[in-house]
Structure 1
Amino acid sequence: MAAVGDDTAWLTQAERERWAGFAGAARRQQFVAGRWLARLLLARTSGANPASFSLAVDAEGRCIAPPPWRASISHSVGWIGVAVARDSRVGLDLQTESVRRDWRPLAVFAGLEPCPDAACFYRHWTLAEAWLKAHPDITSLSTLRGLRWQPDAAGPAWQGQVGELHWAFVGDAAPEWVNDLLPESLQPAPGQGWSPIRPA
């Protein structure tokens, strides 16, 4: 985040408006860092200049990249992740376990009861969030109540964990990790493949 600085002139008008709507400085920093990381990854993938990418924001706050690119941004506590794809859907979700978060009410809200432990909850929750981000026609996570997942090496979703950080990815192929764009980046394991049993 320090490398990005406080200058937001490179953000699009829609991004600046969303940035201005955040009350806390930390949330604003997360937003700016995620947008810059998305541009860095798009530049790495396409060979273009990071500043040449004009990113928009849809009504649900999802990142919209210029065609043929698609991008998904997620953050949790101090972690930020970005996924990009060309001519295919993409969704990424990060969730960090916290002793201050009671996951049980969230499991009830998401229709995930009975959910025996936190690992089960975070697996279903991150997969559902990533599925939501990969499908712009879905406008609310509540529409995914009861969505279940079964192991499937072919995807279209992959989920894993690094310490207390849980991640899930939805796409047309398993994720390929890029961890040299910023210092202290993670290199997660490939993760378990999953497919939805009853998509909304």
Structure 2
Amino acid sequence: MGWACVAPLQQALAVVGDDIAWLSAAERERWAGFSGIQRRRQFVAGRWLARRLLAHVGAGAAELGLEPDGRCSAPPPWRVSISHSGDWIGVAVAAAGLAGLDLQVENPGRDWRALAAFAGLQPCPDPAYFYRHWTLAEAWLKAHPDIHSLSALRGLRWQPDAVGPAWHGQVGDLHWAFVGAAAPEWVTGLLPQSLRPAAGEGWAPLSVA
């Protein structure tokens, strides 16, 4: 089973405040390596929300790790995935299963056609189609620690499948995708204005080159 929480970034930052002493030494080193203030804020909010969500679903005060590629890790059997886009921060966790979450806010100035070609996505006729397949691919990448780059998924294709293992949905201009054993259970009590999206559409990978 998997759980996810998606909330406004500012709501998390208002709770966290300026104190980062609760971060591990490795996390503080990673935080210091970001030159942009916004990226530092996203990092802190994501790690804080990951701890809160893990505690909420019964993992206790799980000590989070930091993989060389920047991914967040949790003690077995827990898996954790963090994503952020625009004004949103999201975390997904699962016990003894896959957990991959990706968020993407539609950006009118983004050259989605060029990104689709770069990522090797199947032909995308419009932005909504692009964002669906982009988030699905990113969530698949995050759920599989043995895949280290989106370029490794250039041959990935998707087909509708009610049982997943991937789900996609949209709330306004925010697209979300989750990869796991089942569609995520949305947790809304951790932060004000957390989202409870409608049930997403199920998708399954058709092929990986």
TM-score band, normalised by the shorter chain? over 0.9
Match of residue 8 from structure 2: none
How many residues in Structure 1 have an aligned counterpart in Structure 2?
A: 197
Match of residue 16 from structure 1: 28
Aligned CA distance change for structure 1 residues 198 and 113 (closer, same or farther; 3 Å):
closer
State yes or no: 1:29 paired with 2:38.
Answer: no
Q: CA deviation at 1:2?
A: 1.3
Match of residue 174 from structure 1: 183
State yes or no: 1:5 paired with 2:17.
Answer: yes
Q: How far apart, CA to CA, are the structure 2 residues paired with 1:9 and 1:80?
A: 21
Q: 1:100 aligns with which of 103, 109, 114?
A: 109
Match of residue 207 from structure 2: 198
Considering only aligned residues, what root-mean-square deviation do their CA atoms show, in Å?
1.1
Structure 1 residues not aligned, in runs of 5+: none
Structure 2 residues not aligned, in runs of 5+: 1-12
Per-residue CA distance 1:34-86 (angstroms, 9 max, x = gap): 111111100100162xxx32111112211101112110000001100100001
Q: 1:125 aligns with which of 134, 140, 161?
A: 134
Q: 1:139 aligns with which of 125, 142, 148?
A: 148
Q: How far apart, CA to CA, are the structure 1 residues paired with 2:59 and 2:140?
A: 28
Q: CA deviation at 1:114?
A: 2.3
Instruction: Map residues 25-64 of structure 1 onto 2, 5 A cutoff.
Output: 25-46=37-58, 48=60, 52-64=61-73
Provide TM-score, normalisation by structure 1: 0.95
Q: CA deviation at 1:146?
A: 2.7
RCO higher in structure (CA 8 A, sep ≥6): 2
Provide TM-score, normalisation by structure 2: 0.91
* SS of residue matched to 1:132: helix
Which AA in structure 1 matches 2:32? A
